Amino acid sequence: MLARREEVAHGAEEQAAAVSFGELALPLPYKCLLLVTAGVWLWYMNLRVCYACKIDTLQVLKLSGTDNYRLVQASLNVAYKVSFMNLVNYSIYLLFVSNEQYFRVLEYLPLLAILLTFGTLMWPYGAQSPERKRFVETVGRISVGKIDIPHRNNDILLADTLTSYTKVLVDFLVYLTALALGYQTLPSPGIKQELSKDHLKIYNLDILLSMYPSLIRLKQCLHEYEQSRRRNKQHLLNAIKYSSAFLPPFANILIRSNMAGLGIWYLAVFINSSYAFFWDVHYDWNFQVFMRFLSNKRGQPLLRHKLVYTSTFYYLAIFIDLQLRFVWVYRLLYPDLLSGEQYSFIATILSSLYVNETGNFVLEILEIFRRWIWVFLKIETEYLKSSTELDLELQSM
């Protein structure tokens, strides 16, 4: 239940129940902040590993006016700045909440941290730097579903990453709208429960908002298809993949309206997960494992001829992608574990997926981790493609 600020003092003794560690130490807005900060560090690690493996990220992003080492160091500096600001902000919150002190202004602390974080990301390397200009232009472009064809890798990487932050985006909007409506958003001596999302469930706004990142990619794919004069069917097939991402949300709407059972959601998420997993492996990473079995050609490699990382990493990446694309299966396999103390901690966590806030937070972490692995292979694949195209151009000259 949500509670307005003016209701904090009323009935405080009745509401003062045992506070879980997660509710007190990491309320919803700070969960969003933690995951965004983690994303900044993961992007730095992407750049650092690619630089160590001699993958030219600048060539993939078509970013001029700098070099790969400078890009890595600049990303590290941004990660330090974001982490320091958010740590100070969070420490202030902990200082007050640990002493059971509550002030109205405290509820704006996470908002201040989020604004400072995005301000640092939008202007990360100086007012005149090419990185800053490119990032600001990319954010403005993809926010309305546009794509710059010459710099498509740049746009696709950011837009696809946004799809993995869908739940984080919805959680942030829950906090922002609750703040605007006058609901208490942080724990206090009087109100200690998790911030509810009930106000966004009116008219299914939370579900509709969750479709926004996939809608961006759908529009980009259709734009690329039109730019190819409707000749490149791969863009159309990619658009269908992002269209399948709308099936689970629509199934949720039907379930909420008592028009369908849980089975329709499992069918919808199975279609989307299967299509997305195939696309990750075959198109985004350019592996031939599916074609190897479908064509039955003995000379066909399971992966591809050119590889930068070790073979173990590629097979591990495929396995992780498969597990996390189909993580919803564990909720199907363990439907009654939430009330069973005799089961292991891992089994209990798996059973809570899609059910409560703890499970949703775990899902957010797993999806961001999956996207981090995906980015390594996506950048590598595009680098090998561009290098091959450059070699062919030089040979023709």
Q: For 22-81, write each residue's pLDDT tens digit.
A: 567 889 999 999 999 999 999 999 999 999 999 999 999 988 767 899 889 989 999 999
CA-based nearest residue to 159, from 103, 116, 220, 105:
220
- Residues 339 and 351: their CA atoms lie apart, in Å, by 10
Instruction: With cut-offs at 50, 70 and 90, classify the pLDDT of residue 350.
Output: confident
Instruction: With cut-offs at 50, 70 and 90, classify the pLDDT of residue 334.
Output: low
Q: Say yes or no to pLDDT of 347 above 80.
A: no
Burial of 83 by CB count in 10 Å (0-12 exposed, 13-18 middle, 19+ buried)? middle
Residues 7-11 have a mean pLDDT of 36
* The Cα angle at residue 379 between residues 373 and 384, in degrees rounded to 5: 130
| Sequence letter at residue 32 | C
Pair 338, 351: CB distance under 8 Å? yes
The segment with the largest mean pLDDT, out of 181-190, 236-245, 259-268, 298-307, is 236-245
- Residues 139 and 136: their CA atoms lie apart, in Å, by 5
- Residues 174 and 58: their CA atoms lie apart, in Å, by 37
* Structure confidence by residue, pLDDT tens digits, 271-309: 999 999 999 999 999 998 888 777 766 677 889 989 999
**Ranges assigned E (strand) in the chain:** none
Pair 177, 185: CB distance under 8 Å? no
**Ranges assigned E (strand) in 270-356:** none
Residues 87-99 have a mean pLDDT of 89
Instruction: With cut-offs at 50, 70 and 90, classify the pLDDT of residue 2.
Output: very low
* Structure confidence by residue, pLDDT tens digits, 216-242: 999 999 999 999 999 999 999 999 999
* Structure confidence by residue, pLDDT tens digits, 201-210: 887 888 999 9
- Residues 375 and 284: their CA atoms lie apart, in Å, by 10
